[in-house]
Amino acid sequence: MRSAVVTGSSSGIGKAIAARLLDDGWRVAGLDLAPAGIEHERLTSTRVDLGDRTVRRPIIESIETTDALVHAAGIMRGAKLGALDHTAGDLLWRIHVDAAMALADWLAPRMPVGGRIVLIGSRAAKGVVGKSQYGAAKAALVALGRSWAKELITKGITVNVVAPAATETAMLSDRNAPSSRLRRRRSAATSSPRRSRRWLLSCSRPMLTQSQVRRLPFAAGLRSDRSEMRTI
């Protein structure tokens, strides 16, 4: 039976991905600060603060092997120049980027041939007013993904970075998120976690190109035989 580690599995995109994997017969190890949002015999949920290096290390290192890693955990913080919160910026980096490095550093050497790594990016990586710190963290995932894809190609392990548009999740409604106008428009302009998970589980193209895939059925990383960066 195939297994996957999914961070942020208690809500939003991470929860949708975990649910899809379970539906497809995978065994899922969910890592999240919040309690499990799914009950299933093949789901093992561990509550952990991925932004805390000391706390997360023994939990990550307790995972002996996995066929796939999906790093979907994340938070939204933002402000314009003159009001940047550097503590928030550090937290964004630790959860989005540093946790991804810790997970991949431990799990990639233990993945079998055909392993999959999927990092959830964001269109904010291209630059959004009031989201420079969040966008910087997400842009860093693209650099990580491109580098890891090149390192792991000889092992038959793919690395995909999926960059959704605004998706209707709890994070979008976070009171600390900077864009209330975006929240007011979300019913007409956002994707859904269900649509996102379809994309994430059926991709078959490489990470070294960028594509607008709004017109495609949310393809993606876990069934891909190549590595890719996708903007949705």
Would you call 118 exposed, middle or buried from its count of C-beta atoms within 10 A (0-12, 13-18, 19+)?
buried
Centroid of chain to Cα 120: 3
3-state class (DSSP) for residue 201: coil
Best CA proximity match to 157, nearest among 196, 104, 102, 120: 104
Q: How far apart are CA 107 and CA 152, in angstroms?
A: 12
Tell me how far apart the alpha carbons of residues 171 and 92 are, in angstroms, rounded to a whole number: 13
| Cα(212)–Cα(87) distance, integer angstroms | 33
What are φ and ψ of residue 8, in 5° steps?
A: 70, 30
Q: Which residues contact 113 (CB under 8 A, 6 or more apart)?
A: 155, 156, 157
Amino acid identity at 220: A
134 has catalytic annotation: yes
18 near 31, Cβ under 8 Å?
no
Identify the active-site residue in 134, 148, 199, 218.
134
150/44 Cα distance (integer angstroms) = 31
Q: Which residues are catalytic?
A: 134
